[in-house]
Amino acid sequence: MVRVRLICVGRLKERFYVEAAEEYAKRLGAYCKLEVVEIPEQRLPRLPSPGDIAGALEREGAAIRDRIPSGFTVVALCVEGQARSSQELADELGRWAQSGGKGLALVIGGSYGLHPAVKGAAQLRLSMSSMTFPHHLARVMVLEQLYRAFQIQAGSSYHK
CB 72 within 8 A of CB 78: no
| pTM given for the model | 0.94
- pLDDT band (50, 70, 90) for residue 117: very high
Would you mind telling me the total number of residues written for the chain in this entry? 160
DSSP H or E stretch at residue 39 = strand 32-39
Q: Is the dihedral of CA 69, 73, 74, 77 positive or negative?
A: negative
CB 69 within 8 A of CB 104: no
Beta-carbon contacts of residue 130 (< 8 Å; ≥ 6 apart): 79, 83
| CA distance linking residue 46 with residue 158, whole number of Å | 43
Domains located in the chain, CATH noted: 2-154 (3.40.1280.10)
**High-pLDDT (> 70) share of the chain, %:** 99
